[in-house]
Structure 1
Amino acid sequence: MRYLILVVLCLIGCKEEKKYHDRVQDKIEMPKTEVLADILKFQSELNAEYKNPETSPLPDRYRMNFEGIDFFPPDTTYSVTARFERTPEALPFLMPTTTERKSKEVVYGRAYFTLKGKEYRLEIYQNQELMLQEKYRDYLFLPFTDLTNGQETYDGGRYIDLTIPKGDSIRIDFNKAYNPYCAYNKKYSCPIVPSVNALNTEVLAGVKAFKPGEN
């Protein structure tokens, strides 16, 4: 099951819930049918997680009547292969969150890709605490904002979970962009998207803004 990384409970004594996403395929170039199937699998698993009281970030008052997450329709044009440039010289830094907590991160690399005919660059991070755990040492974190924020999508931006690729390419599927847990519940502390990861375009893929009355 996936792991919603870097979204931490603010309440002292509460169990920390995380969400880990599927490993990046070693075969970067995937047929569109496989990409679509992978997107639908992601959506199904995310809905199942949010319906489960053991894993859901939703408060009980919302979860009880929860029927499903509002997604953009799957669009394979938002699944891109990026050139991946590692940054071994980068130093750890403290990423601000929605609370007083700081998340210790390092820029593991930068992704260069084309989306809708335009070139973009995003920084990809590695959490310095999680990397010490065996099952999360390959985990990479991609937070971003885009021009849909505050309208179709959560105003604080969205996240994508990745894993360290073997080569110099990495697949980024914006159909797997999800909301931070704090978009659903104020008891969570969520990393704030760095300004360098602001995309000057609309990303009409992934999870939409949460509107309790519509689910």
Structure 2
Amino acid sequence: MNALFTETALESFDADWQEWHAAHEQNRAHPHGFLAVTHLHWLGSEPTRLEGAPGTWSVEADVVRVVLEAGESLRQDGKELNTESGAAVELGPIEERGGIHLVSGETVVELAKRGGEYIVRPRHPGNPLLQAYQGTPAYSPDAAYVVRGTFVPFEAPRPTTVGAAVEGIQHVYEAPGEIRFKLAGRELALTAFNGHAPGSLSVLFTDQTSGKTTYAANRSLSAVPAADGSVLLDFNRAVNLPCAYTDLATCPLPPAENRLPVAIEAGEKIPYERQDQQ
């Protein structure tokens, strides 16, 4: 038994994990989530019509221009952008890894910036990938994969360049430090990036299950260090990124040092759709 848990706490641990996983699955299957992405378009300076989205699109000097014809609708925050047919609507600039969502009928049109390039990803609730989604298999929760670690800050945050699930782009993240921990009798460390929530950290990693029972390219885990640097790593909550489900994602790959030499038989496994493709 994991020393962090009593028998009663283990029962609560299992129930909490089931509740968390159900909520995570519900969020993943949102009608306009990443499973609803129908196309991935990279914008250039030449005005181009994009499949799945209204208008003619181009980008130059960090400003995206959309020209909507009569009868074409695109709304931002409930406001109709097509106030004059043939007039250009200007959007941006957008921060790296930022984005905005525009609405056209049932379609949500995501305009985002990835690897210094602007992309457009229409999202439609009728997308076959979303309609066929069966859920993501996962290991049964195991307290052995909940470990105490220590967050060790670097002297200064390190800009860290990593590859991406699509060729031709790279992502640069700020790494404030590393998380050191012990698992399977080995001293290990993971370079951590700043997470989405204030004070949180995000780690991208692979391990000896990657490409076998878990997705080959990456998994992600969030953690929140305490003021004294102590941090709890619950690998049961390791999740797949969008690239595990669709080739229309631009997910980052883990830094080389985050390829763990142990098998972490916890968290999410290869999605059913990817299993079918192998």
Q: Into which bin does the TM-score normalised by the smaller protein fall?
A: 0.7 to 0.9
1:118 aligns with 2:96: no
Identity percentage of aligned residues: 23
Residues 141-190 of structure 1 show CA distances to partners (whole Å, capped at 9, x for unaligned) of 10111011111011102111233532211111111111120111111101
- CA shift, 1:46, in A, is 1.5
1:154 aligns with 2:215: yes
Aligned to 1:14: none
SS of alignment partner, residue 128 of structure 2: helix
- CA shift, 1:205, in A, is 0.5
Structure with more relative contact order (C-alpha pairs < 8 Å, separation 6 or more): 1
Structure 1: runs of 5 or more not aligned: 1-28, 131-135
Say which of 160, 183, 187 aligns to 1:93.
160
Aligned residue type for 1:142: V
Q: Is the CA contact (8 Å cut-off) linking 1:49 and 1:56 kept in structure 2?
A: no
SS of alignment partner, residue 17 of structure 2: helix
- CA shift, 1:74, in A, is 0.7
Give, in whole Å, the separation in 2 of the partners of 1:141 and 1:113. Answer: 15
Aligned residue type for 2:31: P
What TM-score comes out, normalization by structure 2 length?
Answer: 0.58
Aligned to 1:24: none
Q: Is the CA contact (8 Å cut-off) linking 1:50 and 1:58 kept in structure 2?
A: no
Aligned to 1:41: 19
Residues 99-153 of structure 1 show CA distances to partners (whole Å, capped at 9, x for unaligned) of 33332312212112121332211111127xx6xxxxx443321011101111101
Aligned to 2:42: none
Residues 61-94 of structure 1 show CA distances to partners (whole Å, capped at 9, x for unaligned) of 2322333210111111101110221114233233
SS of alignment partner, residue 214 of structure 2: coil
Once the two structures are overlaid, the 10-residue window that deviates more, 118-127 or 29-38, is 29-38
Mapping for residues 56-205 of structure 1, pairs under 5 Å: 56-57=34-35, 60-99=127-166, 100-126=168-194, 136-205=197-266
Give, in whole Å, the separation in 1 of the partners of 2:264 and 2:191. Answer: 17
Q: What is the total number of aligned residue pairs between the two structures?
A: 180
Structure 2: runs of 5 or more not aligned: 38-126
Residues 20-52 of structure 1 show CA distances to partners (whole Å, capped at 9, x for unaligned) of xxxxxxxxx664344333322221111111222
Give, in whole Å, the separation in 1 of the partners of 2:244 and 2:274. Answer: 14
Give, in whole Å, the separation in 2 of the partners of 1:117 and 1:93. Answer: 28
Structure having the higher strand fraction is: 2
The alignment's C-alpha RMSD in Å is 2.4
Cα distance change of structure 1 residues 153 and 97 upon mapping to structure 2, 3 Å threshold: same
Q: Is the CA contact (8 Å cut-off) linking 1:180 and 1:190 kept in structure 2?
A: yes
Give, in whole Å, the separation in 2 of the partners of 1:198 and 1:213. Answer: 21
